[in-house]
Structure 1
């Protein structure tokens, strides 16, 4: 998440694709992989492309890990599979930042961000406090604590499933969080502005579980006027707590967006 990604060669990511209909891309969260989406079946209404983000799953571990580079990887994968396709992009957690960056740079039908706040300046002090532990042998313990703090009402079976598929890589986590660790507040604000440059005519849905509050929503509306903001169950994984509701909401939002 540092620097300008234009010099990084985009990767065609490890992926799977199934279903029929408009192309819809699913992007997972940090330390996870495309299997995180297993309980979500959108294949009846969409051709669903699930990717392993750079540094995750079966995709290569290659720097850099800034959001525009990660979005470029997703776009390269879309172009390799369905040249010229204009997809719906859905991202959870880190994937929500990547989905937003994709919508800021490439043609999309709509963007859906699942529980990822984009005001990274608000997170900067917290992440900097964790830096010594991130770089210590306690890194796996810290990652586990972070996920436990966000579990909320996630059912035990889903929590166990996610724990088994997570593969924390220190260099990837540090790379994804690099702007908050290395940039000044002014530099980080510029990074955020580049990432959250959604065109006014692109439908943008946020499904929040851990709601950052009214002040954040006001901040987001000032940058993405098209945003629809919803608060669901109190967890970082609202889509896994209510998968049927999530599938119906994605379908409804896509239909309202012109699908």
Structure 2
């Protein structure tokens, strides 16, 4: 299979979001997949291939986030607005209380979604939801990010994602199946740039409390061991959290270990 291509040529639209739809509804929780910033739904091709083996016929819908892939641009990419668009698409697709699977930015959006809308669980692929030092890095880079040399900021982010650890074909996918644009970076990082760190931490703590209160599951998949302070926070706000580390995969464990990720989803 060529992972640069779509799993199917039959692009659908649910609400305002382009999607690939797989499987049929049954008693298994449907799966919703959200990719990371600047990427698109092609990122999930390997996992879907393995899921078809591990859990045949499972209902799954893979969305392009607003402004990505085949989904139209929007005036706002703030988290609350994007999550609202995703919820409209999930509803239009007829998905009942899905498990939301998100990589990177998609993992943060999946968390916010599950806190605010009906969901049975979250699978967060390599996205700490506390901003930590990342917000400080963005604030220092903001003048460049808003100027003509904005791509320097994105390139510096890529340099820290350990792409060199990935198999050659996956490296090609990561480097080519992406459309970095200044409006996406400024729009999707808008909350981080405009909101104090303490307020953001409070919002994410509240989200975890809401997820726990509704009895939804939460599984964090990482390419590296979680920072001790972050893991301590995560287990304090969500004691039932499951954490899986898939080493040697950098920021892309779903691409390097798709069978393991599919097994988690099928479990």
Give secondary structure in 2 for the equivalent of 1:39: helix
RMSD: 2.0
Q: 1:224 aligns with which of 238, 243, 260?
A: 238
- Per the normalisation by structure 1, the TM-score is 0.86
Q: 2:198 aligns with which of 172, 181, 186?
A: 186
Q: 1:35 aligns with which of 27, 42, 53?
A: 42
Greater Cα shift, 167-176 or 131-140: 131-140
Greater Cα shift, 241-250 or 139-148: 139-148
| Cα distance between partner residues in 1 of 2:133 and 2:237 | 16
Kept after mapping to 1: 8 A contact 2:101/2:107: yes
Structure 2 counterpart of 1:89:
100
Structure 2, unpaired ranges of 5+: 1-13
Kindly provide the CA deviation profile for residues 85-130 of structure 1, in whole angstroms up to 9, marking residues without a partner as x: 1111100000001110111011112210000001114421111122
Q: CA deviation at 1:47?
A: 1.0
Kindly tell me the number of residue pairs found equivalent between the two proteins.
242
Q: CA deviation at 1:194?
A: 4.9
Kept after mapping to 2: 8 A contact 1:121/1:188: no
Give secondary structure in 2 for the equivalent of 1:14: strand
| Cα distance between partner residues in 2 of 1:51 and 1:62 | 15
Structure 1 counterpart of 2:89:
77
Moved over 4 A (4+): none
| Cα distance between partner residues in 2 of 1:58 and 1:219 | 37
Structure 1, unpaired ranges of 5+: 1-9, 253-259
1:165 matched to 2:177: yes
Greater Cα shift, 85-94 or 15-24: 15-24
| Cα distance between partner residues in 2 of 1:212 and 1:227 | 13
Structure 1 counterpart of 2:227:
213
1:12 matched to 2:21: no
Kept after mapping to 1: 8 A contact 2:15/2:92: no
Greater Cα shift, 89-98 or 210-219: 210-219
- Per the normalisation by structure 2, the TM-score is 0.83
1:106 matched to 2:113: no
